Amino acid sequence: MPHGLSYAKHHKNKLGIACVFAVVLLFVILPHEVAASATQSERSGCFMILVGKDATADGSVLLAHNNDLTGDEVSLIEKHPRAVHEEGATITFPSGLVIPQARETYEWLVMRIADGYAEGDAVAINEYQVAIAGGVALERDRNNRARQVDPLIKEGLTGGVRYVALQRAKTARECVEIVGELYSTYGVTYPSGFGVADPNEIWYVESGGGRTWAAVRIPDDRYWVQANGYRIGTLDVADSANVMVSKDLLEFCRTHRLWNPDDGAFCWRDAFGGRYIRTPGKEFYNRRRVWRGMDILSPSLGLDPAAIVYPGTAVPDAPVTLEQLFDILRDHYGGTRFDGYSAHDETSAGERLIASPTCVHTNVIQLRAGMSADVGAVLWAGLGRPFGTAYLPFYFGIDTIPAQYSITDAAEGAAFHIFKRLSDLMLGDYPRRSTKVIGIWEGVEKRCLEHQAQLESEARELDKKTPGSAGRRLTNYVSVLATEVLSEANHLIDEMSQNPTSHDAGSSGHH
């Protein structure tokens, strides 16, 4: 049975057994997987960039994310319908926690790993263009004092709470409020950070421990870069328009000596984080990735790659584009002394690459005001490592997911396995092979972007004439693209397999 959350079996969905079964399959997890889920989270090294609507070239809200686990977790894309639930329906978390189900849950599109909802595992969009931008594990950066005074709740909420909230929220702010209320009521089993957005605003949320949490709004003209360390800085808890926190947070931190008012303004990062920078060999595990993302988008800042702390948000030197974010997600510090692939040692000097070989899915979510979610919300998705796959536009309005992107069986040609095989071969001679393969994927992406406005105009016009026809047009478009890209990937695999270099796929030290 797939892992995740489970709905109580004795309640029926009024939309029918088929809908209930689809949702149940999405969320079921076995109790013995709780420990494994936490261990998996600790191994993850996810990366995220959140870009406000006034900081992008076309006014979109853009949310970029690499999900790094062990590299072997099979990923897929699914879409799930709106549902109405009977009174008394419940949701059971893998920890054993049971909470009430909402009366109604909204339609949503999700990219996730096949084994369920570990911390930071999935990205998703709902029918109101509310999106979960992905997550980052924070437990290893949590300081010892925070661990003592705000212990994790063994029978609390797991990472899947984000997707529970997403199915109930019509705005990003509402989604944060729902998550915060659930955090405060039930506590969490594992601390993490995640992004939440809609076409008008972006929020970033971090849990400090079992029950503490904080959320900040990203200014519209700025962006936020996130790795696996606590990043929220000084907070003005009275600024309710831009800050949300757990009840009596400052008093809790003062009482438990996480913060001394005599030392100055309250800093969330100092209160709960900082362990990584004090761990020999891991000082730059997160900091270098944050530096790199910000240095690419705002080189005028002249940020020091060895700095201890970087600004929370920054204004980009030029409006941010989708192509830039694709490039950053594929980045390995090329052209710098930190280049991971030329050195053939990802962990040298404590480095962690943005384009990690352990990435299992990668994406940029695009949200746009003034459009329906069907056309305005796009999941530019890649299954597997960023350098081995193309970012394809999965429109929210598509009726069905291309078959190979929604299955997990290698024997049936699951897309994840095809792209993983290709990227395995690329790592055997990365400098040469990556130039060719990424060049091909960039050509596909460029063509998609050039055709985007025309495609969306056609879809809207079709829908005016015949409601529902936009979905068919978008579904056909994505299906043709997926077939083309998978065919090209298989061709490249055959070509590399038949013409091996002096290095095999395992010689680079990246597995």
Please write down the HEC assignment for all residues of 388-437: HCCCEEEECCCCCCCHHHCCCCHHHCCHHHHHHHHHHHHHHHHHHHHHHH
Give the type of residue at 451: H
Q: What is the mean pLDDT of residues 467-485?
A: 94
Q: pLDDT at residue 366 above 80?
A: yes
User: What's the confidence (pLDDT) of residue 45?
Assistant: 74
User: What's the confidence (pLDDT) of residue 44?
Assistant: 56
Confidence of residue 469 (pLDDT cuts 50, 70, 90): confident
- What b/e sequence results for 270-300 when a residue is b if at least 16 CB atoms lie within 10 Å of its CB, and e otherwise? bbbbbbbbeeeebbbbbbbbbbbbbbbbbee
Residue 288 backbone phi and psi in degrees, to 5:
-65, -35
Per residue in 136-159, pLDDT (tens digit) is 999 999 999 999 999 999 999 999
The DSSP string of 315-381 is: --SS-B-HHHHHHHHT-S-TTSTT-HHHHT-TTGGG---SS-TTEEEEEEEEE-TTS-HHHH-EEEE
How many Å apart are CA 138 and CA 206, to the nearest integer? 8
Q: pLDDT at residue 244 above 90?
A: yes
User: Who has greater pLDDT, 205 or 35?
Assistant: 205
What percentage of the chain exceeds 70 in pLDDT? 86
User: What are the C-alpha distances in Å from 297 to residues 45, 49, 473?
Assistant: 21, 11, 35
How many residues would you count in the chain?
Answer: 511
Q: What is the mean pLDDT of residues 474-482?
A: 97
User: What's the confidence (pLDDT) of residue 7?
Assistant: 53
Q: What is the mean pLDDT of residues 214-240?
A: 97
Order across the sheet with 131-137: list the strands: 75-80, 108-113, 123-126, 131-137, 192-197, 202-207, 213-218, 243-245
Please write down the HEC assignment for all residues of 68-108: ECCCCCCEEEEEECCEEECCCCEEECCCCCEEECCCEECCE
User: What's the confidence (pLDDT) of residue 283?
Assistant: 87
Task: Give me the domains of the chain, ranges plus CATH numbers.
Answer: 6-370 (3.60.60.10)
The DSSP string of 129-149 is: S-EEEEEEE-GGGS-HHHHHH
CB 505 within 8 Å of CB 415: no
User: What's the confidence (pLDDT) of residue 8?
Assistant: 56
User: What are the C-alpha distances in Å from 373 to residues 63, 370, 377, 396, 398?
Assistant: 16, 9, 5, 6, 11
Q: pLDDT at residue 36 above 70?
A: no
User: What are the C-alpha distances in Å from 368 to residues 54, 103, 212?
Assistant: 12, 28, 32
User: What's the confidence (pLDDT) of residue 436?
Assistant: 96
Per residue in 93-123, pLDDT (tens digit) is 999 999 999 999 999 999 999 976 444 578 9
User: What's the confidence (pLDDT) of residue 511?
Assistant: 29
Q: What is the mean pLDDT of residues 81-86?
A: 97
What percentage of the chain exceeds 90 in pLDDT? 77
User: What are the C-alpha distances in Å from 508 to residues 30, 124, 357?
Assistant: 37, 34, 11
Q: What share of the chain is helix, strand, coil (3-state, %, to 5)?
A: 40, 20, 40
User: What's the confidence (pLDDT) of residue 484?
Assistant: 98
First-last CA distance in the chain: 28
**This prediction's pTM:** 0.90
Q: What radius of gyration, in Å, describes the C-alpha atoms of the chain?
A: 22
Q: What is the mean pLDDT of residues 171-185?
A: 98
User: What's the confidence (pLDDT) of residue 2?
Assistant: 29
Strands (E), 235-319: 243-245, 313-314
Q: What is the mean pLDDT of residues 343-348?
A: 46
How many Å apart are CA 363 and CA 45, to the nearest integer? 15
- Residue 475 has a CB neighbour count (10 Å cut-off) of 17
The residues, ordered by sequence, that sit 6+ positions from 152 with a Cβ below 8 Å of its Cβ are 187, 188, 189, 190, 191, 209, 210
Per residue in 386-441, pLDDT (tens digit) is 999 999 999 999 999 999 999 999 999 999 999 999 999 999 899 899 999 999 99
Q: pLDDT at residue 169 above 50?
A: yes
Confidence of residue 337 (pLDDT cuts 50, 70, 90): confident
Residue in this structure with the two tokens 């529902």, named with its chain if needed: 468
User: Who has greater pLDDT, 279 or 289?
Assistant: 289
User: What's the confidence (pLDDT) of residue 281?
Assistant: 82
User: What's the confidence (pLDDT) of residue 282?
Assistant: 85
Residue in this structure with the two tokens 């009596």, named with its chain if needed: 248
